[in-house]
Chain A
Amino acid sequence: NAGVTQTPKFRILKIGQSMTLQCTQDMNHNYMYWYRQDPGMGLKLIYYSVGAGITDKGEVPNGYNVSRSTTEDFPLRLELAAPSQTSVYFCASKLAGVSSEGYGYTFGSGTRLTVV
């Protein structure tokens, strides 16, 4: 059981380039999320999805786009990369509702992106 898989692990982009960060989960979770984490800061929500075909903006969506065509995949697209997008990006997923363990998020291992 792989959980949440993110690719690539590291990437360097030049200003103005575009790329897609991939996120796949194999737990049949309904909800998926993209967070970014800057040094010394907590995680900030970029976009989220409550199911296939449904996405919505989080706290810091500018410069990003997402799609959710399947339950498993939730790619994050960066158009016209800027130095301010240098960060570590985490994808997460969870089941809808409350489990006996509480609202358990499962996180991927992250993508470290540098824009130069």
Chain B
Amino acid sequence: EDQVTQSPEALRLQEGESSSLNCSYTVSGLRGLFWYRQDPGKGPEFLFTLYSAGEEKEKERLKATLTKKESFLHITAPKPEDSATYLCAVLEIQGAQKLVFGQGTRLTINP
């Protein structure tokens, strides 16, 4: 059974203080690893998909990287508007293309 574990559960940073969120996974065959951002009272918003070890993707202050066992979401010089819960998910290899989610990391950026 596919499993996804995110750490830390919560992270508080000062504005401009860079850090990384971790997502470790165990899957029978990785078809894709996803990062989503979720604001309070909203649905998850797609950020990145990574498919193979060594792949990296960037968007503004965010960069996602992937190894064979984990993914990192690096946040460089964050701003208060980056405060949100960040969810990691892996795609199950079976035909219905279901996502298996981690529990999320709640990120707070203080001004």
Taking a contact as CB atoms closer than 8 A, the residue among A42, A90, A92 that contacts B4 in the complex is A42
Taking a contact as CB atoms closer than 8 A, the residue among A42, A58, A101 that contacts B103 in the complex is A42
A102 — nearest CB in chain B belongs to which residue? B49
- Give chain B residues whose Cβ lies under 8 Å from the Cβ of A107: 43-45
B1-35 interface code vs A (CB 8 A; 1 in, 0 out): 00010100100000000000000000000011010
Tell me if B's interface is mostly helix, strand, loop or mixed: loop
> Which residues of A from 46 to 69 have beta carbons under 8 Å from B?
48, 50, 56, 58
Interface size on A, residues (CB 8 A): 29
Contact, CB under 8 Å: A90 / B49:
no
Contact, CB under 8 Å: A42 / B102:
yes
Q: How large is the interface on B (under 10, 10 to 19, 20 to 34, 35 or more residues)?
A: 20 to 34
> Which residues of B from 58 to 96 have beta carbons under 8 Å from A?
87, 89, 91, 95-96
Contact, CB under 8 Å: A48 / B43:
no
- Give chain A residues whose Cβ lies under 8 Å from the Cβ of B98: 33, 45, 48, 58
Taking a contact as CB atoms closer than 8 A, the residue among A48, A106, A112 that contacts B96 in the complex is A48
Given contacts A40-B9, A90-B44, A110-B41, contact A105 B99 (CB under 8 A): yes
Report which residue of B4, B9, B96 has the largest number of chain A beta carbons within 10 angstroms of its beta carbon. Answer: B96
Query: How far apart are the CA atoms of A105 and B6 in the complex, in Å?
Result: 20
Q: How far is the CB of A28 from chain B (nearest CB, A)?
A: 16
- Give chain A residues whose Cβ lies under 8 Å from the Cβ of B43: 4, 90, 92, 107-110
Query: How far apart are the CA atoms of A108 and B4 in the complex, in Å?
Result: 23
Q: How far is the CB of A61 from chain B (nearest CB, A)?
A: 13
Query: How far apart are the CA atoms of A90 and B99 in the complex, in Å?
Result: 13
In the A-B complex, the 4 residue pairs with the smallest Cβ-Cβ separation, listed nearest first, are A102-B49, A107-B43, A42-B101, A43-B101
Enumerate 7 A-B pairs (CB-CB under 8 Å) in ascending A order: A31-B97, A40-B9, A40-B104, A43-B99, A90-B44, A105-B34, A107-B43
Starting from the known contacts A42-B87, A103-B34, A110-B42, 10 additional A-B residue pairs (CB-CB under 8 Å) come to A33-B98, A43-B89, A45-B99, A90-B44, A96-B97, A102-B32, A102-B51, A103-B31, A105-B34, A110-B41
